[in-house]
Amino acid sequence: MIHFVGAGPGAPDLITLRGAKLLAEADVILYAGSLVNPALMEGKKATCQVYNTAHMTLEEVLAVMERTGNDCEVVRLHTGDPSLYGAIREQMDALDRLNIPYDVTPGVSAFSGAAAALRAEYTLPEVSQTVIITRAEGRTPVPEGEKLRDLARHQATMVLFLSAGLLTKVQEELLAGGYPPDTPAAIVYKATWPDEKAFYCTVGSLAETAEINDISRTALVTVGRFLEGDYARSRLYDPSFSHGWREAQL
């Protein structure tokens, strides 16, 4: 059986209990070495075979899965949550063709890790109730209608993965799409790792901030007025508001 497991954003205690149990029981671990914290492998069985897939092609990963997937417990460890930029669909489709069973264990995504690092809430009442999770177009194309300048029109909270090395273009597109240059932004480097860093800036100074601080990878960019001080208090906890679990206090 193959278990796709979300490793969490970096800190080894941010994997789920289920993910940690699967790792401890694994006969084979295939981990995405560029971003998964190797400390997660410390509790593995002495006999466990470990592969760092940073150096492998899809075909090589599948060859290991094909050789071991029917008789062993195999963990395919992806950074954050595997459903975001995890390239798991192509692996799952191949496993379907090979008749090898698999399941998926979710993880804490880096975008949650970044919010925690910033001690921020992405969805503030009357500021933004939408989070756009996206990436800048680089060598991987982005479909028509999802260009940054189109998404920028919403003025919603935005989180950009895989874009820290492309911030000159990101900044241009966000400005062209309508975010005012003074819109707050933050670059979060290695959220939840011991060397985590957060840089507060504005949409107009994103590229410069990354350059000055030498950030070009393993970082998320967050954009929006959620980083400011103004918002309405939540209705959920407002004494004058009734809902399914609480009557209004008059």
For 178, which DSSP code?
A: T
Distance (Å, rounded) from C-alpha 102 to C-alpha 89?
12
Give the DSSP H/E element, type plus range, for residue 23: helix 17-25
Buried b (16+ CB within 10 A) or exposed e, 231-249: eeeeeeeeeeeeeeeeeee
Contacting positions for ligand SAH (CB under 6 A)? 9-10, 35, 78-81, 84-86, 109-110, 113-114, 161-162, 188, 190-193, 218-220
Smallest gap, in angstroms, from Cβ of residue 216 to ligand SAH?
A: 10
**6 with 78: CB under 8 angstroms?**
yes
Within a 13 Å sphere around the CA of 15, how many CA atoms are in the beta-carbon half?
Answer: 24
Q: Nearest CA to 215 among 193, 188, 175?
A: 188
Smallest gap, in angstroms, from Cβ of residue 6 to ligand SAH?
A: 7
**Contacts of residue 16, Cβ cutoff 8 Å, sequence gap at least 6:** 6, 8, 105, 106, 107, 108
97, 41, 46, 48: CA torsion to nearest 10: 10
For 153, which DSSP code?
A: T
Q: 100 or 187, CB closer to ligand SAH? A: 187
Q: 69 or 107, CB closer to ligand SAH? A: 107
Smallest gap, in angstroms, from Cβ of residue 10 to ligand SAH?
A: 4
Q: 84 or 152, CB closer to ligand SAH? A: 84
Smallest gap, in angstroms, from Cβ of residue 34 to ligand SAH?
A: 8
Q: Which residue is nearest to ligand SAH (CB)?
A: 80
Q: 179 or 189, CB closer to ligand SAH? A: 189
Considering all CA atoms of the chain, what is the largest pairwise distance in Å, rounded to the nearest integer?
A: 67
Determine how many CB atoms are found less than 10 A away from the CB of residue 211: 12
Q: 68 or 111, CB closer to ligand SAH? A: 111
Smallest gap, in angstroms, from Cβ of residue 46 to ligand SAH?
A: 29
Q: 68 or 185, CB closer to ligand SAH? A: 185
Q: 51 or 193, CB closer to ligand SAH? A: 193
Smallest gap, in angstroms, from Cβ of residue 82 to ligand SAH?
A: 6
Strands 157-161 and 49-52: unpaired
Smallest gap, in angstroms, from Cβ of residue 108 to ligand SAH?
A: 8
**154 with 132: CB under 8 angstroms?**
yes
